[in-house]
Structure 1
Amino acid sequence: MNKKYTYVWVSLIVLIFGIIVIPRIVKRLSSNTVVENDRLNVSVHNERLGYILVDGKKRKVPSFEFLNQDSIVVSNKDYLGKVYVVDFFFTRCPSICPVMTTNLVDVQRYFKGNEHFGIASFSITPEFDTPQVLRTYADKYKIQKPGWNLLTGDKDVVYRLANAGFNIFAAEMPDVPGGFEHSGLFALVDKEGYLRSRIDQFGNPIVYYRGAILEEKGVNDHGETEEIGILKSDIQKLLNE
């Protein structure tokens, strides 16, 4: 076939494509169906929450055992059958911990009376945060038992649990306010002890919830949107499973 006829056929194909396909694309864009149906058809508002996978396996909360604010031994087994939130904090924290605790008090109030919901807060300064100190902290913020345990124990074990177990950063840093640095993230755990989270529009788990954002403000000083309402919604989804 000579070049003249080749050009004719190519032009014809392009013309047909323009007549048939392009109007369909425009229609999909104008009706948002590209956003709704493409990119693995996954939405941040999915009814079911995703699992956190490591090497193809669902990530489970590591075993732990600590003393709570009442000097009672509490382990991960005590949370089986409960949906619960995990955070790492310390009572002398001058920055994000008061915001995190305030948000968790709000979550506690929202699920008040639900025996299948709980919170586990691990102190990253256990040498200071004794059960007695944690009891005073609990009284200050009106933290209620038995649903919410403030936990203290061996420092190395706590840091290993935070950084390796939950991948929630915590470290001793003398140069920062309070002498310790941590991420301020909340982890969500289902009734069987698996880490769960929302899935983004690309099919990836969002994993954690930013706990250092005041819900009533809507955004923090860096312009980040609040996520406590989202956390409440996701807790309820797991409670309903």
Structure 2
Amino acid sequence: MKDKSYIWISFIVLIFGIWVMPKVIKKFEKADLMTMGKAPHFELINQDEKVINNESYAGKVYVLEFFFAKCPTICPIMNMNMLKLQDAFYGNMKFGIASISIDPVNDTPAALKEHAKELGVKNPYWNMMTGEGEYIYDVAKKFNLYTGVNPEAAGGFEHSGLFALIDKEGNIRCRVDEHGNPILYYDGTDDKAVEWLKEDIKLLLDE
């Protein structure tokens, strides 16, 4: 009887090793997303007049965008999609959002605080940031995200509607397209791209 019990126990342990352990190990591996290098350094002032930089997001997965509060075109769509991300990961202190204004003259910390209140910002790590204009445009350039002053554009500025996904170690991460090429950034105005972003944030949070 003891021999039979030993055989059954050994069999169960073997099955556990084959089916369960790989899944446990997989959780601690890197997510199946491309690593595009370190996110460029930034240091700005948020809506609470606190200095915020990359280190403020250390150990967190976060999404970064360039926007401005009075934008009449794509920003309202981007705002709604950021709110969807906030709601999807509400209560998770490992998730944050970095919104950098390209209109620092009007988007003072006080103005951004009011804008955050109007939007319904609840995540304590959703920083709406401002600073010197040329510095902000230089940071955007380093991210390879288009921003610029254009008096003829609606609102007086132009900018990309893309979201950057950054992991806990400060790396820009992304998925690949159907041809195996990295998408680099996620379209913040596209519902499907935002759903991809949700999925990929979950992967990075589990790393």
- Classify the TM-score, shorter chain: 0.7 to 0.9
- TM-score, normalised to structure 2, is 0.83
Cross-structure match for 2:168: 191
Q: CA RMSD in A?
A: 1.1
Q: CA deviation at 1:199?
A: 1.5
Aligned to 1:233: 199
Between the aligned partners of 1:212 and 1:171, the Cα distance in structure 2 is 19
Q: Specify the alignment match of 2:42 in structure 1.
A: 64
Q: What is the deviation of 1:145?
A: 4.1
Query: Which residue identity is paired with 1:199?
Result: V
TM (norm. structure 1) is 0.71
State the identity as a percent: 48
Query: For residues 205-216 of structure 1, what are the structure 2 equivalents within 5 Å?
Result: 205-213=182-190, 215=191
Q: Is the Cα contact below 8 Å between 2:96 and 2:123 reproduced in 1? A: no
1:1-241 maps to which residues of 2 (within 5 A)? 48-52=32-36, 59-163=37-141, 165-213=142-190, 215=191, 226-241=192-207
2:75, 2:45 → 1: CA distance? 20
Task: Output one character per residue of 1:190-224: Cα deviation in whole Å (capped at 9) or x when no partner.
Answer: 000010000123332111111023x3xxxxxxxxx
- How many residue pairs get aligned? The number is 177
Q: Which amino acid aligns with 1:162?
A: A
Q: Is the 8 A contact 1:211 1:227 kept in 2?
A: yes
Letter of the aligned partner of 2:68 in structure 1? F
AA in 2 matched with 1:181 = E
List gaps (5 residues or longer) in structure 2: 1-30
- Determine if contact 1:83/1:239 at 8 Å carries over to the other structure: yes
Provide runs of 4+ in structure 1 moved above 3 Å.
Answer: none
Secondary structure of the structure 1 residue equivalent to 2:38? coil
In our comparison, the structure showing a higher alpha carbon Rg is: 1
State the AA in 1 paired with 2:198: K
Residue 98 of structure 1: how far off its partner (Å):
0.7
For 1:105 and 1:202, locate their aligned partners in 2 and report how far apart those are by CA, in whole Å: 31
